[in-house]
Structure 1
């Protein structure tokens, strides 16, 4: 039987003496694309994927809070079952055209080069923002986040 998100969080937070901390659940990739979600989950669990990014406009359109340093998330796999806990260790706003090659590499997607990241991300972000009747520009701020796997189930 799969462990619940609450159980994983309780076990982790108690063993690490975390008080007044909460968590949210999170997965990476489009939920409708289970292969993508599982691939990204596997990369996080293997320690290959340690960064991610989204346009700032996504957060305001979704009414979501921007990840903050010290935020915890129960990581879900493609079946939406908890498999670990990640922590945000860096969260910064960077103009799209100023995202670093290091950040692109650490996203662990494509060929891991900055040019590949820019091409894939511009396409993805343009499509993503179109869902909210918004346009995406390479001058737009991007939330660049570095995550750390702190617990594996």
Structure 2
């Protein structure tokens, strides 16, 4: 709702000078804010394929009545949503804990792999790389967190 003088409509509380866009906004749009409001799917339709690669971006899906970004994307028209089920280790963590050189960027590579998979007809075969090479940057620590929901 309109709060604290912030002129942008939304259901999240303003933070400093802006109001974050929330999953609730994506789902409900402006329906709870005014009589002539529009549903979120009409205001923010989702593309066919959506990747939400961030710490626990798909955490809402573990509950029977989920209400989060992944659910909002499905509700707003996405046919495929890839999200992560747990907190992801950063590339810095791989550098610090596994002594990988800074030129190796496991998290960036995982994000690029998801993007590539969303653009391609064939899935990414990271398990084969892990089994063949056994290298930490190909480990399930990152890619096993990814979940794809297809409607």
Which category describes the TM-score, using the shorter chain as reference length? under 0.3
Higher relative contact order (CA 8 A, sep 6+): 1
TM-score with structure 2 length normalisation? 0.27
Say which one has the larger Rg.
2
With normalisation by structure 1, the TM-score equals 0.26
